[in-house]
Amino acid sequence: MEKSISVGLLGLGTVGSGVVQIIEQHQDKLMHQIGCPVEITKIVVKDVHKKRDIDIDPAKLTTDPEEVLNDPSIDVVIEVMGGVEKTRNLVLKALRNKKHVVTANKDLMAIYGAELLKEATENGCDLFFEASVAGGIPIIRSLVEGLSSDRITKMMGIVNGTTNYILTKMDKEGSAYGEVLAEAQKLGYAESDPTADVEGLDAARKMTILATLGFSMPVDLDDVKVNGISQITEEDLEYSRRLGYTMKLIGIASRDNDKIEVSVQPTLLPHSHPLASVNDVFNAVYVYGEAVGETMFYGPGAGRLPTATSIVSDVVEVMKNMRLGVNGSRFVTPQYQKNLKSDEEILSKYFLRIQVKDKAGAFSEITSLFSSHNVSFEKILQLPIKDSKLAEIVIITHQASKQAYNDTLTKLNDLEVVEGIKSSYRVEGEEIL
């Protein structure tokens, strides 16, 4: 039997405990895959005396990361401690010490991924991060390997389970946003400070990673246009349903003529679209390729064991590379320079809900304004508001440029007949009749 592979673990929280569990319980599978045992020899924690729900040899615990980074016997470092700046320095040191790194840290990879991958290549090390996007779904491996011969033109994804859970409950049960958020926090689906989830920041970090890999272009987090779900109302969801749509927080990365757009925003999808039926905390990524056509990757987007499974799969990949002597060769630098679409080049349909004065000629004024900006209507609902001199108009536009649509909204606020714009969302996907 060959010498065991030695692993150092940075962090022993929910996911870290899952990694320990899988490595200990799946030794036979790992032996079959790589031909030798895998042993976690050192674990960095904040408190070595803390009671834990898994049995750990106390001798393996330390509060000093240097005991992992400077130990010549440790082959692979698994980072599941979170954070960005401090963690970046630890990962850099691990790579410079010729240790392979597996991380689940989407924040780290979205901000410093290019730097860290360059460092890994220069040191002949692997840096894998499958678990950083969509938990247990192998989307990164699919983009880098399974679809490597294709040209990806678009990726649309539900990549945040917290917001998907909230929108599912609001849509299916008619509950208010604040009520469902409180429930999600109680169940542990949402953090006590849910900002990163509900304002779309978590999803934006993941879309940064996917766009960089899928388009072979250096996409930065600041390139992603982000809107969250905190302003969505029960009325928005009700009108969406009546018009044949489901509301989801969707990450969109699209490429046309070598120009790209990356965004995260509440988006209306036809009920028939595959992503519309992805509910609760599940994630899914819909990928369009010129050769393969349309594919969808679906599964648990977070959780102790699904995320840990992706991490250990990366560890197996590292070890296979070690046996073949090809570590540090998986990722290549982006092929193309960054080239972002302007607002005039971003085309989409839009959902718009406005309140207007309920009087003759009001709708005619609105129609004339939209027509002057080359924005036309596909669907319209016009409803009186009870006990009010106002009416509500809900519109689905035909495809229009983002610039033309935004210019229209600006002018719309200036119309005397318009009381106010209540909401506006993107519409994606074609209805399947």
Interatomic CA distance for residues 22 and 295, integer angstroms: 29
User: 300, 334, 366: which is the final residue of a domain?
Assistant: 300
185 inside domain = yes
Predicted confidence (pLDDT) at residue 63 exceeds the cutoff of 80: yes
Among left, alpha and beta (phi > 0; psi -120 to 50; other), residue 134 is left
225 shares a domain with 117: no
Predicted confidence (pLDDT) at residue 131 exceeds the cutoff of 90: yes
CATH number at residue 423: 3.30.70.260
pLDDT for 136 equals: 86
Mean pLDDT of the chain: 93
DSSP 20-71: HHHHHHTHHHHHHHHSS-EEEEEEE-S-TT---SS---GGGEES-THHHHT-
In 113-192, where do the E strands start and end?
A: 127-128, 152-158
333 inside domain = no
365 Cβ neighbours under 8 A, 6+ residues apart: 415, 417
292 shares a domain with 309: no
Q: What is the pTM of this model?
A: 0.93
> Could you identify the residue written with the tokens 């899914």?
284
> What value does the mean pLDDT take over residues 34-42?
91
Predicted confidence (pLDDT) at residue 433 exceeds the cutoff of 70: no
125 shares a domain with 143: no
Predicted confidence (pLDDT) at residue 245 exceeds the cutoff of 80: yes
Element holding 313 (H helix, E strand): helix 304-324
332 inside domain = no
CATH number at residue 57: 3.40.50.720
Interatomic CA distance for residues 130 and 139, integer angstroms: 7
Domain span including residue 115: 5-135+304-324
pLDDT tier at 384 (50, 70, 90 boundaries)? confident
336 inside domain = no
pLDDT tier at 60 (50, 70, 90 boundaries)? very high
102 shares a domain with 233: no
Question: Which two three-digit tokens encode residue 196?
Answer: 């990163």
Residue 13 Cα to chain centre, angstroms: 21
Predicted confidence (pLDDT) at residue 342 exceeds the cutoff of 50: yes
> What value does the mean pLDDT take over residues 399-403?
97
Q: How is the chain split among helix, strand and coil, in percent rounded to 5?
A: 40, 25, 35
Predicted confidence (pLDDT) at residue 273 exceeds the cutoff of 60: yes
Interatomic CA distance for residues 42 and 49, integer angstroms: 15
Give every strand in the sheet of 76-79, ordered side by side. Answer: 61-62, 38-44, 5-10, 76-79, 100-103, 127-128
Question: Which two three-digit tokens encode residue 133?
Answer: 């996007």
Strand-strand pairing, 152-158 and 225-226: unpaired
> What value does the mean pLDDT take over residues 317-325?
91
319 shares a domain with 218: no
158 shares a domain with 53: no
pLDDT for 1 equals: 41
373 inside domain = yes
Element holding 232 (H helix, E strand): none
Q: Contact at 8 Å (CB) between 255 and 152? A: yes
Average the pLDDT over each of 1-5, 144-148, 209-213, 421-425 and give the range with the smallest value: 1-5
239 shares a domain with 108: no
Predicted confidence (pLDDT) at residue 296 exceeds the cutoff of 50: yes
56 inside domain = yes
Interatomic CA distance for residues 235 and 393, integer angstroms: 12
pLDDT for 2 equals: 64
Interatomic CA distance for residues 307 and 274, integer angstroms: 23
- Report, in angstroms and rounded to the nearest whole number, the Rg of the chain calculated over CA atoms: 24
147 shares a domain with 178: yes
Q: Find the Cα–Cα–Cα–Cα dihedral 127, 128, 132, 136, rounded to 10°.
A: -160
96 inside domain = yes
**DSSP type of residue 146:** I
Count of structural domains within the chain: 3
Average the pLDDT over each of 116-130, 136-150, 241-255 and give the range with the smallest value: 136-150
225 is catalytic: no
- Return the percentage of the chain with pLDDT > 70, whole number: 99
18 inside domain = yes
- Would you tell me how many other CB atoms lie within 10 Å of the CB of residue 182? 12
63 shares a domain with 103: yes
Average the pLDDT over each of 49-58, 72-81, 345-354 and give the range with the smallest value: 49-58
pLDDT for 360 equals: 84
pLDDT tier at 212 (50, 70, 90 boundaries)? very high
368 shares a domain with 319: no
Catalytic annotation, pick one of 206, 341, 349, 402: 206
pLDDT for 431 equals: 62
Predicted confidence (pLDDT) at residue 230 exceeds the cutoff of 60: yes
User: Which whole-number Å values give the CA distances from 385 to 382, 388, 391, 412, in the listed order?
Assistant: 10, 6, 5, 20
98 shares a domain with 41: yes
pLDDT for 358 equals: 85
pLDDT tier at 74 (50, 70, 90 boundaries)? very high
- Beta-bridged to residue 165, according to DSSP, are none
121 shares a domain with 156: no
